[in-house]
Structure 1
Amino acid sequence: MISARRRAAGVFGMSVVGMIGMLTACAPNASPNPTPTPTLAAFLIDRDFADPEVIEASGQYVAFAINARGGNVQFATSNDLAHWTGSLEDALPKLPRWASGGRTWAPDVSARAGGDYIMYFVANQFPSDKQCIGVATSPVVTGPYTPVGEQPLVCPLDEGGAIDPATFTDDDGIRYLLWKNDGNCCGQDTWIQIAPLSPDGTQLAGPPTKLFTQTEPWEGQLVEAPVLVKRDGQYVLFYSANDYATSDYAIGVATAPALMGPYVKSGTPLLSTESSGGRYIGPGGQDIVTTADGDVMLFHGWDELLIYRGLLSVPLHWDGAVPSVQLP
Structure 2
Amino acid sequence: MTRHLTRWAGALTALAVLPALLALAPGSTSASGADDRLAAMAPRPLIWERDFGDPSVVFDGTKWFGAATGFRGRGSDSANDWGIWNPTGDLLNAKPAWAKYAGVWGPDLERGPAGWLAYYTMPSRGLPHAQDRCIGVATAPSVDETFTPVSDRPLVCPDYSATEPASDPVGGRAGLPRRGVIDPSSFIAPDGRRFLLYRTQGTPSTIRMIRLNPAGTGTFGTSRELIRDVGVLENPVMVQHGDWYYLITSRGDYGDCRYRTIWRRSHFRHKDWQGTRGHALVNRRNSGVCGPGGADYVEATTSHANRLFFHGWVCKGTNLPCYQSYQGGKDFEDVGKRALYAARLRWTKNGPVLSAFVQGPEPVPPPPSPTPTPTPTVTPTTPPPTSPTSPPPTSPTTSTTTTSPTTSPTTTSTIPIPIP
2:57 maps to 1:54 = yes
2:305 maps to which residue?
Answer: 294
Q: Hey, which of these two has a bigger chunk of strand by percent?
A: 1
Does structure 1 conserve the Cα–Cα contact (< 8 Å) formed by 2:264 and 2:279? no
2:214 maps to which residue?
Answer: 199
Q: After alignment, is 93-102 or 197-206 more displaced?
A: 93-102
TM-score by length of structure 2 reads: 0.64
Measured after TM superposition, the shift of residue 240 of structure 1 is: 0.4
What is the DSSP-based 3-state SS (H/G/I as helix, E as strand, rest coil) of the residue aligned with 2:286? coil
Q: How many residues align?
A: 288
What is the DSSP-based 3-state SS (H/G/I as helix, E as strand, rest coil) of the residue aligned with 1:206? strand
Measured after TM superposition, the shift of residue 41 of structure 1 is: 2.7
1:142 maps to which residue?
Answer: 144
Q: Following the alignment from structure 1 to structure 2, what is the Cα–Cα distance between the partners of residues 252 and 288?
A: 13
Q: Following the alignment from structure 2 to structure 1, what is the Cα–Cα distance between the partners of residues 67 and 188?
A: 20
1:307 counterpart (329, 333, 336): 336
Q: Following the alignment from structure 1 to structure 2, what is the Cα–Cα distance between the partners of residues 118 and 102?
A: 18
- The structure-2 alpha-carbon separation of the partners of 1:161 and 1:88, relative to structure 1 and needing over 3 Å to count, comes to same
Does structure 2 conserve the Cα–Cα contact (< 8 Å) formed by 1:231 and 1:320? no
Measured after TM superposition, the shift of residue 37 of structure 1 is: 3.0
1:120 maps to which residue?
Answer: 119
Written as runs of structure 1 = structure 2, the 5 A alignment for 1:262-301 is 262-263=272-273, 265-276=276-287, 279-291=288-300, 292=302, 293-301=304-312
Q: Following the alignment from structure 1 to structure 2, what is the Cα–Cα distance between the partners of residues 43 and 267?
A: 26
1:167 maps to which residue?
Answer: 186
What is the DSSP-based 3-state SS (H/G/I as helix, E as strand, rest coil) of the residue aligned with 1:238? strand
- Residues 123-178 of structure 1 show CA distances to partners (whole Å, capped at 9, x for unaligned) of 11124332110111111212211111121111125641110000011122110000
- Residues 243-297 of structure 1 show CA distances to partners (whole Å, capped at 9, x for unaligned) of 0010121001010101112126443421111233xx1000000011123451110
Does structure 2 conserve the Cα–Cα contact (< 8 Å) formed by 1:236 and 1:321? no
2:328 maps to which residue?
Answer: none
1:44 counterpart (43, 46, 52): 46
2:355 maps to which residue?
Answer: 326
Measured after TM superposition, the shift of residue 73 of structure 1 is: 1.3
Written as runs of structure 1 = structure 2, the 5 A alignment for 1:128-277 is 128=127, 129=130, 130-156=132-158, 159-182=178-201, 184=202, 188-214=203-229, 221-263=231-273, 265-276=276-287
Does structure 2 conserve the Cα–Cα contact (< 8 Å) formed by 1:234 and 1:321? no
Q: Following the alignment from structure 2 to structure 1, what is the Cα–Cα distance between the partners of residues 85 and 294?
A: 20
Q: Which amino acid aligns with 2:297?
A: I
Measured after TM superposition, the shift of residue 198 of structure 1 is: 1.0
- The structure-2 alpha-carbon separation of the partners of 1:321 and 1:150, relative to structure 1 and needing over 3 Å to count, comes to farther
Measured after TM superposition, the shift of residue 36 of structure 1 is: 5.0
Does structure 2 conserve the Cα–Cα contact (< 8 Å) formed by 1:159 and 1:181? no
Does structure 2 conserve the Cα–Cα contact (< 8 Å) formed by 1:91 and 1:142? no
2:81 maps to 1:81 = yes
What is the DSSP-based 3-state SS (H/G/I as helix, E as strand, rest coil) of the residue aligned with 1:101? coil
What is the DSSP-based 3-state SS (H/G/I as helix, E as strand, rest coil) of the residue aligned with 2:53? coil
Q: Which amino acid aligns with 1:317?
A: R
In structure 2, runs of 5+ residues without a counterpart are 1-24, 161-176, 316-321, 323-334, 358-420
2:173 maps to which residue?
Answer: none
Q: Following the alignment from structure 1 to structure 2, what is the Cα–Cα distance between the partners of residues 327 and 56?
A: 19
Measured after TM superposition, the shift of residue 57 of structure 1 is: 1.1
Measured after TM superposition, the shift of residue 237 of structure 1 is: 0.9
1:20 maps to which residue?
Answer: none
- The structure-2 alpha-carbon separation of the partners of 1:193 and 1:72, relative to structure 1 and needing over 3 Å to count, comes to same
Q: Which amino acid aligns with 1:205?
A: F
Q: Percent identity?
A: 28
Q: After alignment, is 247-256 or 97-106 more displaced?
A: 97-106
Measured after TM superposition, the shift of residue 101 of structure 1 is: 2.6
Does structure 1 conserve the Cα–Cα contact (< 8 Å) formed by 2:253 and 2:259? yes
- The structure-2 alpha-carbon separation of the partners of 1:36 and 1:203, relative to structure 1 and needing over 3 Å to count, comes to closer
What is the DSSP-based 3-state SS (H/G/I as helix, E as strand, rest coil) of the residue aligned with 1:308? strand
